[in-house]
Chains A and B, each alone.
Chain A
Amino acid sequence: MDLTAHPNRIALGLEGSANKLGIGVILHTGSSLDPSTSTVLSNIRHTFVSPPGTGFLPKDTAKHHRSFLVRIAKQALSAANVSISQIDCICYTKGPGMGAPLTSVAIGARTLSLLWNKPLVGVNHCVGHIEMGRAITGASHPVVLYVSGGNTQVIAYAEQRYRIFGEALDIAVGNCLDRFARTIEISNDPAPGYNIEQLAKQGGRVLLDLPYAVKGMDCSFSGILTRADELAAHMKKGGKAPDGEPITPADLCFSLQETVFSMLVEITERAMAHVGSNQVLIVGGVGCNERLQEMMGAMAADRGGSVYATDERFCIDNGIMIAHAGLLAYETGFQTPIEESTCTQRFRTDEVLVKWRK
């Protein structure tokens, strides 16, 4: 493929590894060897929201994605205003994520690839987040904190791999927050983490004691969740905080956020010191949390650096990041043959050869 003959390259990306179905169209302009310009042509998302007190189950989520795939694809195409002949490749999330939702979206992506006679590109979801974050914020060589409902990783780039410096040993930080939202039965709309963040803003009177579980470069969140759940049960029985006042959901949300975000800031700072970087890029759904951005910003400022974050359009799972990372790989000659276009629930960030970076 001679890319100099293609000054404009367009990819369609489909994402559905968790409860968001996202489809987007991206345009890359200029030589792929120079830093090329990325333009978002469309980025449409539809979220499967489960009732308060419940989480999203694979079967229901897969059904949601199948039901909305055609509708969202039509919206993404019409918003982008591109014809099929202008599209260079179809990108889909290969993993990691929930099996049934991933597979549903992959079936749709394969069908489009075959009908339109376009090459297919399988994308690592985490790499999608990182590349989109870099493209939007302009952070050139950041330490990346990737925090979402399914993943918690501190990552830095070295020698064509995104290397994992630290990660969650059990549940992801977002899973800890999501499950706590279920415990106190707050709404999952638009996202449980968002509603915890809003409640936490009303807290701050007391910081309830929760375990602080940093183990070297890694974190553990399951014990913190257990203790937070116990405190919630204590609250329901009219339990009092150390200051003698009744515990409120706001106190719990505030204390949970302060504790888990402090842990994330600590391991991120250690990775920054290790690689000698003063940029932090926060990606993933939990990355929209403004309190996390604020805490990380304070740490980065102390180190003479700054924090780079995006808003919900790019932090929360979306199709455009899959289109973008897929197109970067495609520009280096990478394709996924149809017969190999499987999905995988486990797909580590460092398994991907990042051929598009030096």
Chain B
Amino acid sequence: MATDTGFPCSLTLQVPFPNARLASVALQALRVDKELSSLVTRHFTTVAAAGGPSDLQNVLQIEYKATTNRMLRVAVNSFFDGLALVLEVMEELDVDVVEERQKAAKTG
């Protein structure tokens, strides 16, 4: 990856989702909070999976750049903490999951 003067440490993460809707939800939920340090920059997008249909943007892509590897690690770890919560909410509280559970509770 091309290095940026001042921000030599970089990492690009790609997180595949089952569909474009969930990738977009994760993007919107996670990009709101500003990166706390000015020593880190990042860019959120959704992209198509390699080899997949180009109109299906189901991969969340985050490009991190930082002044030091330490700052990069701190920022990326914090991103994963947030991502884990988003994934758990998707798994347990998406509309269809909640409806299914409520239906089961009524009949059971």
Q: Give bound CA distance, A108 to B82, whole Å.
A: 9
9 extra interface residue pairs, beta carbon distance < 8 Å, beyond A106-B32, A115-B90, A339-B32: A73-B93, A104-B81, A104-B82, A107-B33, A110-B32, A111-B89, A112-B89, A114-B28, A340-B32
Q: Name the contact of A343 in the complex, choosing from B33, B94, B102 (C-beta under 8 A).
A: B33
Question: A84 with B33: in contact, given A70-B93, A73-B93 (CB under 8 Å)?
Answer: no
**Residues of B near any A CB (own CB < 8 A):** 24-26, 28-30, 32-34, 36, 81-82, 84-86, 88-90, 92-95, 98-99, 101-102, 105
The answer to whether the Cβ of A316 comes within 8 Å of any Cβ in the partner chain is no
Chosen A-B contacts, 25 in total, with CB atoms closer than 8 Å, are A62-B81, A66-B85, A69-B85, A73-B93, A83-B98, A84-B95, A84-B98, A103-B82, A104-B81, A104-B85, A107-B82, A110-B28, A111-B25, A111-B29, A111-B86, A111-B90, A111-B93, A112-B93, A115-B94, A115-B95, A338-B28, A338-B32, A339-B28, A340-B32, A342-B34
Q: Name the contact of B89 in the complex, choosing from A70, A84, A106, A339 (C-beta under 8 A).
A: A70
Q: Give bound CA distance, A110 to B92, whole Å.
A: 15
Q: Give bound CA distance, A339 to B81, whole Å.
A: 20
Residues of B near A108 (CB, < 8 A) are 85, 89
8 pairs of A and B residues whose beta carbons are closest in the complex? A110-B29, A114-B25, A111-B89, A111-B29, A66-B85, A70-B92, A107-B82, A70-B88
| B85 near A107: Cβ-Cβ < 8 Å | yes
Question: A77 with B89: in contact, given A110-B28, A114-B29 (CB under 8 Å)?
Answer: no
Which residue of the partner chain B has the closest CB to A73?
B93
Tell me the minimal C-beta distance from B36 to chain A in angstroms.
8
Q: Give bound CA distance, A104 to B32, whole Å.
A: 12
Residues of B near A257 (CB, < 8 A) are none
Tell me the minimal C-beta distance from B94 to chain A in angstroms.
5
Q: Give bound CA distance, A304 to B104, whole Å.
A: 56
The answer to whether the Cβ of A116 comes within 8 Å of any Cβ in the partner chain is yes
| B92 near A78: Cβ-Cβ < 8 Å | no
Q: Give bound CA distance, A343 to B33, whole Å.
A: 8
Residues of A near B101 (CB, < 8 A) are 74
Question: A106 with B33: in contact, given A70-B93, A83-B99, A116-B95 (CB under 8 Å)?
Answer: yes
The answer to whether the Cβ of A341 comes within 8 Å of any Cβ in the partner chain is yes
Residues of B near A70 (CB, < 8 A) are 88-89, 92-93
Most central of A62, A83, A110, A115 by chain B CB within 10 Å: A115
Q: Give bound CA distance, A179 to B57, whole Å.
A: 51
Q: Give bound CA distance, A123 to B92, whole Å.
A: 25
Which residue of the partner chain A has the closest CB to B25?
A114
Tell me the minimal C-beta distance from A319 to chain B in angstroms.
15
Residues of A near B30 (CB, < 8 A) are 107
Which residue of the partner chain A has the closest CB to B85?
A66
Q: Name the contact of B92 in the complex, choosing from A63, A74, A106, A107 (C-beta under 8 A).
A: A74
Residues of B near A338 (CB, < 8 A) are 28-29, 32
| A107 near B86: Cβ-Cβ < 8 Å | yes
Bitwise, A56-84 to B at CB < 8 A (1) or not (0) is 00000011001001100110011000011
Q: Give bound CA distance, A77 to B99, whole Å.
A: 11
Which residue of the partner chain B has the closest CB to A81?
B102
Question: A111 with B85: in contact, given A70-B92, A70-B93, A84-B98 (CB under 8 Å)?
Answer: yes
